[in-house]
Structure 1
């Protein structure tokens, strides 16, 4: 989770924006991931809703996230069409892995085995 340091000289909206960029860059948040609502995240982090809204607007202006009206704000899909489709498939797979409560390392081993053509990976 993103932490905001109230003692930092960096404004809270910028700390939040940078935190999302870092989480997306590291793969912690993948393309298609739905972000919390402005109000919920503001409450969770002890920030004003306007602060979170500003961070979201700046992320959207940079093309990092996209807002889909009442459906919410999501991490954007970038790249060529094949890359975008692979990102969508990865996001769906990640949701399925979470629903099945599989360990991330095991899920990655399954993908690696499937890419090698082996079908299954050692458990």
Structure 2
């Protein structure tokens, strides 16, 4: 997995939810395609500096939503089709076109204001926390 996952320990969002959300977002924007293999639980945990159980929980949540599939031989891979996911799962990972357009707009406005990606994420996370999301 080439895309980078970042854990923010300063936020109230538990690390497993941050991992789950970021993987879901990477799938939604096409960074992770169907069949793409995710890192092993131990490998990702070591890279992020979190307990293996934290990554395992994120993977289990993603599997329960049918976003990824785990088996012993192939490891954890991105599920093949959105039709295999329960109703609403595509919306949960941000696949709605209007949401993606709004994200693109946010990025463009942030760049115009001289903000980097980390600051945009921090601002968005702070606002979500204020709203209790």
Give the match for residue 32 of structure 1.
35
After superposition, residues 1-123 of structure 1 pair within 5 angstroms as 1-79=4-82
SS of the equivalent of 1:70 reads coil
Q: State TM-score, norm by structure 1.
A: 0.63
Larger Rg belongs to: 1
Q: CA RMSD in A?
A: 1.4
Deviation of 1:69 after TM superposition, in Å, equals 1.4
Structure with bigger RCO (C-alpha 8 Å, 6+ apart): 2
* Runs of at least 5 residues in structure 2 that lack an aligned partner in the other structure: 84-133
The alignment covers a number of residue pairs equal to 81
Q: Deviations over 1:45-79 (max 9, x none)?
A: 00100000000000000000000213200000114
- The runs of at least 4 consecutive aligned structure 1 residues that moved more than 4 Å come to none
SS of the equivalent of 2:36 reads coil
Give the match for residue 110 of structure 1.
none
* Runs of at least 5 residues in structure 1 that lack an aligned partner in the other structure: 81-123
